[in-house]
Amino acid sequence: MTRVPQHLALIMDGNGRWATGKGRPRWMGHARGAHTAREVVSYCAQRGVEQLTLYAFSSDNWKRPADEVGFLFDLFASHLERQLDKLLKHGIRLSVIGRRDRLPRGLCDAIEATEARTAHGQRMHLRVAVDYSSRTAMQEAFTMGEGRGEGRSDVRSDVLPNANILPPVDLVLRTGGERRLSDFLLWESAYAELAFLDVNFPDLSTADLDAVFADYAKRERRYGAVPAPAEVSAPTTPAILAPR
């Protein structure tokens, strides 16, 4: 088994194009994407991913037509309710990050109930980003720090527990062919590996995930240090400097 990222962040992009490419309305892509998301969650738990953060709705997605936004919220609320037993059975803790104050009341209730029921899940921590903006999360974290008179310029989740600042991300995966982060986990991804797939999210398969994990396992993460000594070949003295 290859080494899997402990914290995988997934930008689930390409639902709309999946649908329009088939001559269908965009909402069908979101419905199919929700199905794929369920499979991804199960598979990641099975592979030993400890933390999975899914980008479901960005704060900029409010720019979309109201019926698309409403459909996404309804879909998420109904999935939370239907997936509860499975989350409990597999020991998956669910949390939602992002703003809550603009979400429909019914969705907030479903989120709070699912978070409370799954709070003791030990196997994997699943976070879903809804009305999420990384810049907003960082701004809030900094403001909270100042408000406490801490006068610090860094952000620590132990100091600021409610600030939507997560543990570091090991791998960001984006489907749908775009190569950008779209305001997702910018702070947390400081040293994340990046992977981009041209496949639209509804078509993402467990074989695709296997390939992404296999590629991740080959990467050497140095965090600014030099490679581990075992991997360094002995330096050869350039002929011009060699003692005569």
Give the residues lining the site for Mg ion (CB under 5 A). Answer: 13
Residue pointed to by tokens 């909270």 = 144
Q: Which of 176, 187, 195, 212 binds ligand IPE (CB under 6 A)?
A: 176
Q: Which two tokens stand for residue 86?
A: 């499975």
Residue pointed to by tokens 């499979």 = 39
Q: Among this protein's residues, is 13 annotated catalytic?
A: yes
Phi, psi of 134 (to 5 degrees): -65, -35
Strands (E) in the chain, as ranges, are: 7-11, 51-58, 92-97, 124-132, 171-174, 193-196
Tell me the closest approach of the beta carbon of residue 10 to ligand IPE, in angstroms.
9
Q: Which residues in the 12-41 window bind ligand IPE by CB under 6 A?
A: 12-17
- Measured CA to CA, the distance from residue 70 to residue 72 in angstroms comes to 5
Q: Which residues in the 57-86 window bind ligand IPE by CB under 6 A?
A: 57-58, 61, 72
202 near ligand IPE (CB under 6 A): no
| Nearest position to Mg ion, beta carbon | 13
Binding segment (CB under 6 A) for ligand IPE, from list 78-86, 110-118, 177-185, 226-234: 177-185
Catalytic residue among 61, 203, 208, 210: 61
Q: Which strand ranges, in their side-by-side order, compose the sheet holding 193-196? A: 92-97, 124-132, 51-58, 7-11, 171-174, 193-196
- Measured CA to CA, the distance from residue 68 to residue 203 in angstroms comes to 20
Q: Which two tokens stand for residue 81?
A: 């309710």
> Residue 5 binds what, of Mg ion, ligand IPE, none (CB under 5 to 8 Å, by partner type)?
none
136 near ligand IPE (CB under 6 A): no
Tell me the closest approach of the beta carbon of residue 233 to ligand IPE, in angstroms.
42
178 near ligand IPE (CB under 6 A): yes
> Residue 57 binds what, of Mg ion, ligand IPE, none (CB under 5 to 8 Å, by partner type)?
ligand IPE
| Nearest position to ligand IPE, beta carbon | 16
